[in-house]
Structure 1
Amino acid sequence: MQTASQLLKQKALHSVLAVAPHATVFQALQVLADNNIGAVLVMDEGKLVGIFSERDYARKVVLVGKTSAVTPVAEIMTSRVLCVPPTATASECMAVMSEKRIRHLPVMDGDKVLGVLSIGDLVHAKIAEQEFTIQQLEQYIYR
């Protein structure tokens, strides 16, 4: 079973993408679009203060009639961010995401953000693990 740290190393995007709390929702949406991601961290002077996702935009901007061009991210971001340590297993990460109904999970080593795992990252890891197990079983059977 892979750890969160190992999963982060396999990602194509290794840098930690973030916006400032005073950035507008429009600016945060531009980061999402430019990088083809569904959530971005909100950081203030290197400290994680929140996460902004497409879900936040849909529920806290569009549905309540706010304007993305002037609304600051800090006003609508999710400020209670669930995180895991780099030693968390993929199964532990999936359990947190399933239980809390979230799609993005920051990996932190103390106060340092190492990266963000998405539900897609974890699904890909699980599929790869299962394919490996099947391959091993097939080799065992056909020997």
Structure 2
Amino acid sequence: MTNVAQVIQNKIEQNIFTISPESTVLEAISLMADKGIGALVVTDQDKVVGILSERDYTRKVILMERTSKETTVSEIMTAKVLTVTKSNSVEDCLDLMTDRHLRHLPVVENDKLIGLISIGDLVKVVMEDQRKLIDQLQQYIAS
């Protein structure tokens, strides 16, 4: 069974973009737009203290009529961040993401951020595992 360590090791591009809780929401949204990503891990001295997604922005800035220039990341981030470790299985992560309606999971080791996995990363791994199993079964049947 594939685990998180294998997922982050096999990711072609493993750039983890972070932002501080004191940054403005405008800075965060600008960084997300520039990098083409939908979420940022909020860190304070390398420790994960939150996560900020486009969903947080739309629900906690736009709908509440706040301004991006004056609102800080800490005011709208999701502070109760669920994290995983390298030893978690892909299945465990998918279950967690499905149950909690999450799209991203920070990967931590010794309280330090070492990766970020998305639902898309996990779906790719599951599809590849299934492809390998099908190939093995076809070879078995053919021999």
- What is the TM-score when the length of structure 1 is the normalising length? 0.95
The answer on 1:96 being equivalent to 2:83 is: no
* Aligned partner of residue 69 in structure 2, secondary structure: coil
The answer on 1:121 being equivalent to 2:121 is: yes
Question: 1:109 offset after TM fit, Å?
Answer: 0.9
Deviations 1:58-81 (A, max 9, x none): 111111111112211100000000
1:69-108 alignment, distance < 5 Å: 69-108=69-108
Question: 1:15 offset after TM fit, Å?
Answer: 3.2
Q: 1:21 to 1:66 in 2, by over 3 A?
A: same
Mapped partners of 2:100, 2:60: distance in 1: 19
* Aligned partner of residue 68 in structure 2, secondary structure: coil
Mapped partners of 2:19, 2:40: distance in 1: 7
Mapped partners of 1:36, 1:48: distance in 2: 21
Question: 1:13 offset after TM fit, Å?
Answer: 2.6
Residue of structure 1 in register with 2:39 after alignment:
39
The answer on 1:20 being equivalent to 2:16 is: no
Mapped partners of 1:13, 1:41: distance in 2: 16
> How many residue pairs get matched?
143
Residue of structure 1 in register with 2:11 after alignment:
11
Give the partner amino acid of 2:79.
S
Mapped partners of 1:132, 1:35: distance in 2: 32
Give the partner amino acid of 1:119.
I
Question: 1:103 offset after TM fit, Å?
Answer: 0.7
Residue of structure 1 in register with 2:51 after alignment:
51
Mapped partners of 1:32, 1:12: distance in 2: 19
Mapped partners of 2:116, 2:33: distance in 1: 17
Residue of structure 2 in register with 1:141 after alignment:
141
Give the partner amino acid of 1:4.
V
* Aligned partner of residue 134 in structure 1, secondary structure: helix
